[in-house]
Amino acid sequence: MLGIGTSRDLPTVLIIDDDMVSREVMATVLTMSGYTIHTAGRGEEAVALLGAGTCTPDVILMDTQMPGLKGARLVEELRALTKATVYAMSGGDVPDDIKAAVDGYLSKPFGPQALKRLIEQHHPNAVSEPEAEAPVISAETLAQLRGLMPETAVREIYAAVVADLKRRVVALQSAIAAGDTAEIRRIGHSIKGGCGMAGALQAARLGAQLEATGDQLDNSGALLEDLKNAIESLQRMLEGEFPT
């Protein structure tokens, strides 16, 4: 269990996700905001936790694509053990049977404020701090990468992310000028996925917004400028963390 002292009446959250990095990033973000967090790497593990009374969550966040017990069947087993609000998380489309079974859903990757807003819809006592800008990069993801490979290799990863984003900015400018909303959404999807994997949180969040609102050309132009700023911030992080 993770948690920090707080005077606010915040819901206890159980995160079910087989991807360790995603799970730990979400847990860290919510813990630092004052939530008490439990985590499980599989549906079976979550059911065991609930059955044993190890945790009594108010909110459950469950990934839609996991091995073993998952999907609507997992929701059914969770419902039998708890009255918690259940939200699905997915990197793609949420299947209709899961949409019908859960109380809401989020597209991955998502920023901490999106997660808090969804929780607050059903738990009005979960008052969050004023919305802040997403961190440039996930400290958890950076630490994970540093634990797996040499510093030079980690630097190369983020240098490649920056270079790729600069190429996509050029393509995005062309798509906006041409009014090609399908291409804007496609570029946003690619940014969301690649930056989400690398823990580049600002850029991933902007990619998700481009994917979701790519048909709103005025909004796409504003997001393009935000993306340019995110690239500059990522470049500064790269120079600060990995000086040459």
pLDDT digits (tens, 9 = 90+) for 104-143: 888 776 666 677 777 777 665 554 444 445 678 888 888 8
- Domain limits, the chain: 12-122, 139-241
What pLDDT, in 10s, does the model give residues 166-202?
A: 999 999 999 999 999 999 999 999 999 888 888 898 8
3-class DSSP state of 18:
coil
Dmax of the chain from CA atoms? 58
What per-residue confidence (pLDDT) applies to 134?
60
Q: Nearest-CA neighbor of 241 among 205, 183, 199, 179?
A: 199
For residue 15, pLDDT over 90 is answered with: yes
Tens of pLDDT, residue by residue over 207-226, are: 988 988 888 887 788 889 88
- φ/ψ of 143, rounded to 5, equals -65, -40
**How many whole angstroms separate alpha carbon 82 and alpha carbon 98?**
17
Q: Which of 81, 52, 51, 22 is nearest to 39 (CA)?
A: 22
Structure tokens at 135: 């961190």
Q: Which residues are CB-neighbours of 84 under 8 A, at least 6 positions away? A: 14, 57, 58, 59, 60, 78
- The token pair at 5 is 């002292």
CATH of domain 12-122: 3.40.50.2300
Q: Are 52 and 25 a contacting pair, CB within 8 Å? A: no
Whether residue 7 is predicted with pLDDT greater than 70 in this model: the reply is no
The answer to whether residue 4 scores a pLDDT higher than 90 is no
What's the CATH class of domain 139-241?
Answer: mainly alpha
Distance CA 214, CA 221 (A): 10
**What are the C-alpha distances in Å from 104 to residues 11, 93, 120?**
16, 13, 12
Check if the beta carbon of residue 201 is closer than 8 Å to that of residue 136: yes
